[in-house]
Chain A
Amino acid sequence: MKCYLCALEKTNTDAVAICIVCGMGVCMNHLVREEVEVWEGGYPFPAKKLKRKLPRILCKPCYSVYHEG
Chain B
Amino acid sequence: MSLTKRSLAELVGTFLLVYFGAGSAAITLMISQGANPPNPFNIGIGALGGLGDWFAIGMAFAIAITASIYALGRISGAHLNPAVTIALWATKRFPTGDVGPYIASQLIGAALASFLFAASVGMDAVKIGGLGATAPFPGVSFGQAILAEAIGTFLLMLTIMGVAVDERAPPGFAGLIIGLTVGGIITTTGNIAGASLNPARTFGPYLGDYILGGNSLWHFFPIYIVGPIAGALVAAFAYDYLSKD
Binding site for B on A (CB under 8 A): 39, 41-48
A56 to chain B, nearest CB (A): 21
User: Does residue B164 face the partner (Cβ distance < 8 Å to A)?
Assistant: yes
User: Does residue B201 face the partner (Cβ distance < 8 Å to A)?
Assistant: no
CA distance A41 to B74 in the complex (A): 7
Tell me which residues across on chain B come within 8 A of A45, comparing CB atoms: 77, 88, 93-94
CA distance A59 to B76 in the complex (A): 36
The contact of A42 among B6, B73, B84, B160, by CB within 8 Å, is B73
A59 to chain B, nearest CB (A): 30
Contact A43 B69 (CB under 8 A): yes
Chain A interface main SS type: loop
Nearest B residue to A44 by beta-carbon distance? B77
In the complex, chain B residues 102-156 whose Cβ is within 8 Å of any chain A Cβ: none
The interface size of chain B toward A, counting residues with CB under 8 Å, comes to: 19
Contact B74 A44 (CB under 8 A): no
User: Does residue B174 face the partner (Cβ distance < 8 Å to A)?
Assistant: yes
In the complex, chain B residues 62-102 whose Cβ is within 8 Å of any chain A Cβ: 69, 73-79, 84, 88, 93-94
Contact A44 B6 (CB under 8 A): no
Contact A46 B164 (CB under 8 A): no
Contact A39 B73 (CB under 8 A): no
Tell me which residues across on chain B come within 8 A of A44, comparing CB atoms: 73, 77-79, 84, 88, 160, 164-165, 174
Tell me which residues across on chain B come within 8 A of A39, comparing CB atoms: 74
Contact B74 A47 (CB under 8 A): yes
A46 to chain B, nearest CB (A): 5
CA distance A48 to B165 in the complex (A): 15
Contact A46 B74 (CB under 8 A): yes
What would be 6 A-B contacts, judged by CB atoms less than 8 Å apart?
A: A39-B74, A43-B73, A43-B78, A43-B175, A45-B93, A46-B76
CA distance A46 to B88 in the complex (A): 13
User: Does residue B1 face the partner (Cβ distance < 8 Å to A)?
Assistant: yes
Tell me which residues across on chain A come within 8 A of B69, comparing CB atoms: 43
CA distance A14 to B79 in the complex (A): 54
B170 to chain A, nearest CB (A): 13
In the complex, chain B residues 1-36 whose Cβ is within 8 Å of any chain A Cβ: 1, 6
Nearest B residue to A45 by beta-carbon distance? B77
CA distance A45 to B164 in the complex (A): 9
The contact of A43 among B1, B6, B174, by CB within 8 Å, is B174
Tell me which residues across on chain B come within 8 A of A43, comparing CB atoms: 69, 73-74, 77-78, 164, 174-175
Nearest A residue to B160 by beta-carbon distance? A44
B55 to chain A, nearest CB (A): 25
Tell me which residues across on chain B come within 8 A of A41, comparing CB atoms: 74
